[in-house]
Amino acid sequence: MTPTAFISHLADYQLAAVFNPYAERCPVHDRADAAKRRRANLCAFLKAALAAGVDTVWIARDLGYRGGRRTGVPLTDEVHLKHMELLFGGIPFHRATRGPIVAERTAAIVWRVITQIGRPVMLWNVFPFHPHEPDDPLSNRCHTRAERETCKPLLMELLEMVQPRQLIAIGRDAQLALAELGLSAAAVRHPSYGGQAEFIAGLFRHYGVEPHPRAGKRPSLFEAMEG
């Protein structure tokens, strides 16, 4: 399956109390062509990841309303779209929203680690959409088992396309959800709720990266590219 065909398949899904950023438009924050922009962002990300020979997929639980719901790229907020451009050789990614840029804490930590690792990774979620409370579209909730099973074909299509060597589950929820779907994954602590240090240390161990103090750190991949 090609990235274009996969994203077309993503856009076909409609579920109750779930925002599909590849097909829907938020009437409060989105530009008129927001869904099209998010599809283009994800398509560019997938194509770049495949071209780079990405062999590891980091998988979290579901999209958050401050991150992937707005950008179309999992675990990536609007602050880090430019970082993603640099990591993948200058491919442009575009905002789909109006107003001030919105940051997400989890995305900031994820991209801090990617920066220090210095190599592209594939980012995804067990449930690829944004589940929210029925009367509050800008809230976060955990997806249900039924929703997970409904979207399992999408996850399997992605893995068939990427052919990763390893999956890394971000958080216990993601690890258990993957196990229920019959997928084995290494696990790291989720960076939220006090887990930032363990998340960073776990991924540094996995990639053989030595921690170093911020004040004297080596130039990041992005700084090197900019220089």
What the chain holds in terms of domains, given with CATH numbers, is 3-226 (3.40.470.10)
> How many residues in total does the chain contain?
227
pLDDT band at 213 (very low <50, low <70, confident <90, very high): low
What does the H/E/C string look like for 65-113?
CCCHHHHCCCCCCHHHHHHHHHHCCCCCCCCCECCCCCCCHHHHHHHHH
For residue 85, name the pLDDT band (cuts at 50, 70, 90). confident
Confidence of residue 22 (pLDDT cuts 50, 70, 90): very high
pLDDT computed for residue 31 by the predictor: 98
What pLDDT band is residue 97 in, cutting at 50, 70 and 90? Answer: very high
- 202 phi, psi to nearest 5 deg: -65, -45
pLDDT value for 223: 39
Q: What pLDDT was estimated at residue 193? A: 80
CA–CA dist 71, 75 (Å, integer): 9
